[in-house]
Amino acid sequence: VTTVGVLPPDVRYVDAHCHIDLFADPTATMRSAREQAIAIVAMTNTPSVFRRMEQLACEFDNVFCALGLHPELVAERHRELPLFNELAAETAFIGEIGMDGAKGRAELPRQRRALDEMLAACRPGRKHILSVHSRRASADILEAIAPGFPGIVILHWFSGSLAQAQVAAERGWFFSVNLAMTRSQSGKTLISRLPRDRVLTESDGPILLSEGRRGGPADVVSVVEYLGAAWGVGREEAREQVLHNFERCLRASHASAP
Ligand code: MN
């Protein structure tokens, strides 16, 4: 495991948003991804599981552990914010954080306060790489993470409007796209509009996909294949583009490391 973001030289693919700790067998999942040369950014949904994720990943050079507090867990777990503040200095990777308005807007003010606190914890010393959830709250996220925010922002499974995507792209933000997005009309339309140099791939595994199987890191190979066709460049060029985009995130983060 690495917290500074050094990519093994043989890595070919990136899963920029995966919940390794929620798989039935996290070690087997990471081992299989290593064999397929897939780098993984392993989300955590609450700060108290970050250390355990680090332990799980300690033998894997392709896994980066991210520190997170999922917006849907803010109400229950906001007492872990001090722990988030403490751990934020130790890792370049943050996620899953964000806001979620799918169950109504009542929880959004509390989610916003927690997000503001976590963003403030990210400022000192280094540029963090953030994987951000924004379901039914894309306008809120564009407001919460101000244009000059000194970190690398990756919008995970973005489902806001094309206009909002454009605003995010103009700010230099990235987008991690997954298999579900390549199979929905809105997702396909979004992907067709994104600047290619801002596109990353993700699985959001082990979420249940529509056809009854669970997502996992290997999904990113199919996503890359889709991107190759959508961009009209073929699979290999799309793979290189996505990997290059992820390397740019890592370099931007390194350049600021203490
Ligand atoms: Mn997720």
CA of 45 to the centre of ligand 1 (A): 8
Residue type, 256: S
pLDDT, position 254:
81
CA of 171 to the centre of ligand 1 (A): 23
Mind listing the pLDDT tens digit for each residue in 248-258?
999 999 866 55
Cis peptide leading into residue 96 (ω within 30°):
yes
* Interatomic CA distance for residues 62 and 172, integer angstroms: 25
CA of 232 to the centre of ligand 1 (A): 29
CA 13 from chain center: how many Å?
14
CA of 124 to the centre of ligand 1 (A): 26
| 173: DSSP letter | -
CA of 95 to the centre of ligand 1 (A): 8
pTM confidence score = 0.96
pLDDT, position 53:
98
Instruction: Output the six-digit token pair for 129.
Output: 């790489």
- pLDDT, mean over the chain: 94
Residues with Cβ < 8 Å from 237, sequence gap 6 or more? Answer: 228, 231
CA of 125 to the centre of ligand 1 (A): 26
What DSSP line would sit under 3-31, residue for residue?
SS----TT--EEEEEE-GGGSSSHHHHHH
Cα dist. 189→44, 73, 83, 146 in Å? 29, 30, 39, 26
Mind listing the pLDDT tens digit for each residue in 10-55?
999 999 999 999 999 999 999 999 999 999 999 999 999 999 999 9
CA of 4 to the centre of ligand 1 (A): 21
CA of 71 to the centre of ligand 1 (A): 10
pLDDT (average), residues 208-229: 90
| 215: DSSP letter | -
pLDDT (average), residues 198-212: 88
| 213: DSSP letter | -
CA of 134 to the centre of ligand 1 (A): 11
* Interatomic CA distance for residues 114 and 122, integer angstroms: 13
Mind listing the pLDDT tens digit for each residue in 167-196?
999 999 999 999 999 999 999 999 999 999
